[in-house]
């Protein structure tokens, strides 16, 4: 987790750093900090709390030739001032910001302590800066000291480092992402392109175990063997990189309301001139496989459940969906020719990277479904499909979920060669848009559930998968305990929890299971539950809370998820929480 930014030679560099940190704080927002290098002096401002708070600690007019900044999601050490980045070396010569994890950091720390190095924090990052400072004393050359530290430390890192007296900004990277932005007489660095896109659209992507430096009008990158490498300049699609609220009060609301556009863009990308537009080899590999294994976490895992059903029902290929953090410790490869599908919005989720490292040993074909091109998982998977959702800033995933499900459906449609499906998705767009007009009804439910201790979501089939996602969304941003229960499972235990006025939110859109589900609704009602039914026109009854126009059943998760997202959003809002930055979470989970 954590976001890093840096600049050299940039006029108004402080402004770039502050805005950049705000843009990147979706990567973590426990604490923030900035270091300014001016020839022989380095000043550091850092604290627990927001970027805005840290900015208020910096004197007016403070600026630097090189500046580095950090926004943190705590891994080692509490979110307090001393654990906030930047970290300074024991001799005061080097300062760094780090995103990643130093493996066996306690061992390294003990060895450095023995060598007389002192520490001011509980972080693993301080080990890195001290190690570089110590190696510098032997090598008298920063690049050599960096290389030696990289040889000593295992783990993930994207680091920007400054050294007193040098008008340079050093960079090093392994696993965690790091991009350099090339400007006219200035250069930038950041965890992703979003903070830099206002200033340049020329980027260099650092590879694993590469390191180097940027100066005002120059840069050099080296590989792990110490040889200089010539890097390709790449550009980014600005509309997919830029973050702004566009007048919305929160990213989450904006992102929910972007869903119809995202789905349109996705269909238009993968279905051109009435033909599916996928790599032929990918389609062939899927057809040849006898089992699809899905790996994902959180929302992406929920999307995989829907995808699994598509593959099984529409292609008759058996599937298994696994939570990545479970599968990693008990890898299973059902079938003789499994095809592995990783689903990850960020493409940086550590649990999935762990799984990918396992899969690589077996040489099976791998596909990543992601929103982030150039991510670690994308680089590691044989095939990759981009869900075209544009940056998702809110920690609670919304548009990415709808797009992941739609992506899986389009892929299945392409394997099946069924044009009708892409058309059906496009035809459903007005229905998704119409959910926006039901916001008042959703707000009413939010106002009722906001003070409850516990809430249940129930559904069967597609509605069960959606219940899982709806429940995650609610607990994630409103901190209300909630559980998703498959309708048929109620009687096997959970119905014991239903009391007078217990809120039960029912997704009732699955034609196949409708009769059984009606029975479940009556069962909870008769035990006093306060039931809110979200139904489709065909299945609806008077008194249902939200009634949605009819659509083909398999589109349920793409369409009705908006109801679940609005409900979580308004519940969190009515409790006065920070919707986009829920406590204890970060957008990309780059630690296991």
Q: If binding is defined by CB under 6 A, does position 344 make contact with ligand M6R?
A: yes
Task: Identify which of 450, 486, 485, 442 has the alpha carbon closest to the alpha carbon of residue 576.
Answer: 450
Window of 295-303, 405-413, 491-499, 561-569 that interacts with ligand M6R by CB under 6 A: 295-303
Q: Which is nearer to ligand M6R, 299 or 509 (CB)?
A: 299
Q: If binding is defined by CB under 6 A, does position 28 make contact with ligand M6R?
A: no
Residue 175 CB neighbour total at 10 angstroms: 19
Cα torsion through 301, 368, 329, 489, rounded to 10: 20
Report the C-alpha gap between 279 and 267 in whole angstroms.
15
Q: Which is nearer to ligand M6R, 29 or 222 (CB)?
A: 29
Residue 332 CB neighbour total at 10 angstroms: 10
Q: If binding is defined by CB under 6 A, does position 396 make contact with ligand M6R?
A: yes
**CB of residue 542 to ligand M6R, shortest distance in Å:** 34
Greatest C-alpha distance within the chain: 80
**CB of residue 349 to ligand M6R, shortest distance in Å:** 3
Bridging pattern class, strands 218-222 and 228-229: antiparallel
Q: If binding is defined by CB under 6 A, does position 366 make contact with ligand M6R?
A: no
E strand segments, 388-545:
454-459, 481-486, 503-508, 530-536
Bridge partners, residue 157, by sequence: 100, 174
Determine which residue in the list 349, 386, 467, 590 makes contact with ligand M6R, applying CB under 6 A: 349
Q: If binding is defined by CB under 6 A, does position 297 make contact with ligand M6R?
A: yes
Report the C-alpha gap between 34 and 101 in whole angstroms.
20
Taking residues 471 to 510 in sequence order and writing x for each that binds ligand M6R by CB under 6 A, - otherwise, the string is: -x---x----------------------------------
587 is catalytic: yes
DSSP symbol at 176? S
DSSP symbol at 126? H
Euclidean distance between the first and final Cα of the chain, in Å?
Answer: 11
Window of 17-25, 211-219, 271-279, 393-401 that interacts with ligand M6R by CB under 6 A: 393-401
Q: Which is nearer to ligand M6R, 174 or 404 (CB)?
A: 404
The count of chain residues that interact with ligand M6R, using the rule CB under 6 A, is: 16
- What number of helices (H) and strands (E) belong to the chain? 19, 26
Tokens for 8, please give them: 């050299």
Cα torsion through 537, 542, 547, 551, rounded to 10: -10
| Contact assessment for residue 119 and residue 83, using Cβ atoms and an 8 Å cutoff | no
Q: Which residue in this structure is represented by tokens 């979580």?
A: 568
- For helices 399-416 and 298-315, the axis angle rounded to 10 degrees is 20
| Contact assessment for residue 42 and residue 162, using Cβ atoms and an 8 Å cutoff | yes
**CB of residue 303 to ligand M6R, shortest distance in Å:** 8
Tokens for 434, please give them: 């119409």
Determine which residue in the list 23, 83, 99, 345 makes contact with ligand M6R, applying CB under 6 A: 345
**CB of residue 86 to ligand M6R, shortest distance in Å:** 26
**CB of residue 519 to ligand M6R, shortest distance in Å:** 31
Task: Identify which of 561, 584, 573, 302 has the alpha carbon closest to the alpha carbon of residue 449.
Answer: 573
Question: For the stretch 74-95, what's the b/e string if a residue is b when 16 or more beta carbons lie within 10 angstroms of its beta carbon?
Answer: bbbbebbebbbbbbbbbeebbb
Q: Which is nearer to ligand M6R, 472 or 539 (CB)?
A: 472
Bridging pattern class, strands 338-344 and 366-370: parallel
Q: Which is nearer to ligand M6R, 26 or 219 (CB)?
A: 26
**CB of residue 46 to ligand M6R, shortest distance in Å:** 26
Determine which residue in the list 298, 308, 338, 461 makes contact with ligand M6R, applying CB under 6 A: 298
Determine which residue in the list 23, 121, 299, 386 makes contact with ligand M6R, applying CB under 6 A: 299
Report the C-alpha gap between 403 and 387 in whole angstroms.
6
Q: If binding is defined by CB under 6 A, does position 568 make contact with ligand M6R?
A: no
Determine the Cα angle at 85 with ends 184 and 66, to 5°.
25
Q: If binding is defined by CB under 6 A, does position 300 make contact with ligand M6R?
A: yes
| Contact assessment for residue 395 and residue 581, using Cβ atoms and an 8 Å cutoff | yes
The residue number with the shortest CB distance to ligand M6R is: 298
Window of 267-275, 394-402, 435-443, 503-511 that interacts with ligand M6R by CB under 6 A: 394-402
Q: Which of 148, 216, 285, 587 is catalytic?
A: 587
Q: Which is nearer to ligand M6R, 579 or 589 (CB)?
A: 589
**CB of residue 517 to ligand M6R, shortest distance in Å:** 26
Q: If binding is defined by CB under 6 A, does position 397 make contact with ligand M6R?
A: yes
**CB of residue 469 to ligand M6R, shortest distance in Å:** 8
Q: If binding is defined by CB under 6 A, does position 395 make contact with ligand M6R?
A: yes
Q: Which is nearer to ligand M6R, 130 or 394 (CB)?
A: 394
Q: Which is nearer to ligand M6R, 66 or 560 (CB)?
A: 560
Determine which residue in the list 346, 482, 545, 562 makes contact with ligand M6R, applying CB under 6 A: 346
**CB of residue 327 to ligand M6R, shortest distance in Å:** 14
2 is catalytic: yes
Report the C-alpha gap between 418 and 523 in whole angstroms.
40
Q: Which is nearer to ligand M6R, 289 or 299 (CB)?
A: 299
Positions marked catalytic: 2, 587
- Binding residues (CB under 6 A) for ligand M6R: these are 297-300, 344-346, 349, 352, 395-397, 472, 476, 588-589
């Amino acid at each position: 987790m954590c976001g890093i930014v840096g600049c050299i030679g940039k006029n108004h560099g402080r402004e770039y750093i502050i805005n950049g940190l705000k843009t990147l704080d979706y990567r973590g927002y426990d604490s923030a900090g900035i270091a300014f290098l001016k020839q022989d002096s380095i000043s550091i401002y850092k604290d627990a709390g927001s970027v805005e708070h840290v900015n208020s600690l910096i004197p007016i007019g403070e600026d630097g030739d090189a500046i580095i900044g950090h926004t943190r999601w705590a891994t080692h050490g509490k979110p307090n001032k001393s654990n906030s980045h930047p970290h300074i070396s024991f001799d005061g010569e080097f300062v760094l910001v780090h995103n990643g994890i130093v493996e066996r950091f306690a061992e390294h720390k003990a060895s450095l302590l023995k060598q007389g190095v002192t520490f001011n924090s509980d972080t693993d990052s301080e080990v890195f800066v001290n190690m570089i400072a110590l190696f510098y004393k032997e090598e008298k050359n920063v690049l050599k000291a960096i290389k030696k530290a990289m040889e000593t430390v295992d783990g993930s890192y994207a680091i920007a480092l400054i050294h007193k007296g040098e008008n340079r900004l050093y960079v090093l990277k392994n696993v965690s992402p790091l991009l350099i932005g090339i400007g006219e007489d200035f250069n930038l660095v950041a965890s992703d392109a979003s903070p830099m896109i206002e200033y340049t659209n020329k980027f260099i992507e650092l590879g694993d175990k590469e390191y180097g430096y940027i100066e005002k009008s120059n840069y050099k990158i080296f590989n792990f063997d110490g040889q200089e490498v010539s890097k390709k300049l790449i550009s980014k699609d600005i509309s997919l990189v830029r973050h702004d609220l566009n007048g919305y009060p929160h990213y989450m609301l904006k992102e929910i309301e972007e869903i119809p556009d995202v789905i349109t863009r996705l269909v238009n990308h993968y279905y051109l001139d009435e033909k599916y537009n996928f790599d032929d080899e990918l389609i062939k590999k899927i057809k040849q496989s006898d089992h699809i294994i899905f790996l994902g976490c959180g929302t992406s895992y929920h999307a995989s459940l829907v995808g699994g059903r598509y593959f099984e029902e529409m292609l008759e290929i058996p599937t298994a969906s696994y939570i990545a953090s479970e599968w990693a410790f008990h890898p299973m490869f059902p079938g003789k020719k499994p095809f592995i599908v990783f689903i990850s919005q960020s493409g940086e989720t550590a649990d999935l990277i762990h799984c990918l490292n396992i899969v690589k040993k077996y040489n099976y074909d791998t596909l990543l479904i992601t929103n982030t091109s150039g991510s670690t998982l994308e680089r590691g998977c044989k095939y990759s499909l981009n869900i075209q959702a544009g940056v998702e800033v809110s920690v609670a995933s919304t548009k990415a979920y709808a797009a992941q499900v739609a992506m899986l459906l389009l892929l299945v449609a392409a394997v099946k060669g069924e044009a009708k499906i892409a058309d059906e998705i496009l035809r459903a767009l007005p229905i998704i848009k119409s959910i926006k007009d039901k916001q008042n009804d959703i707000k009413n439910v939010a106002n009722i559930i906001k003070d409850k201790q516990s809430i249940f979501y129930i559904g069967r089939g597609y509605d069960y998968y959606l219940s899982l996602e709806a429940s995650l969304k609610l607990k994630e941003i409103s901190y209300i305990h909630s559980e998703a229960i498959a309708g048929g499972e109620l009687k096997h235990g959970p119905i014991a929890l239903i009391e007078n006025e217990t809120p039960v939110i029912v997704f009732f859109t699955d034609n196949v299971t409708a009769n059984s589900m009606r029975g479940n609704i009556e069962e909870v009602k008769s035990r006093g539950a306060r039931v809110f039914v979200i139904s489709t026109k065909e299945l609806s009854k008077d008194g249902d809370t939200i009634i949605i126009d009819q659509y083909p059943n398999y589109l349920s998760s793409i369409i009705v998820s908006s109801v679940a997202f609005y409900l979580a959003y308004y519940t969190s809002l009515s409790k006065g929480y920070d919707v986009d930055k829920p406590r204890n979470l970060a957008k990309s989970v780059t630690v296991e």
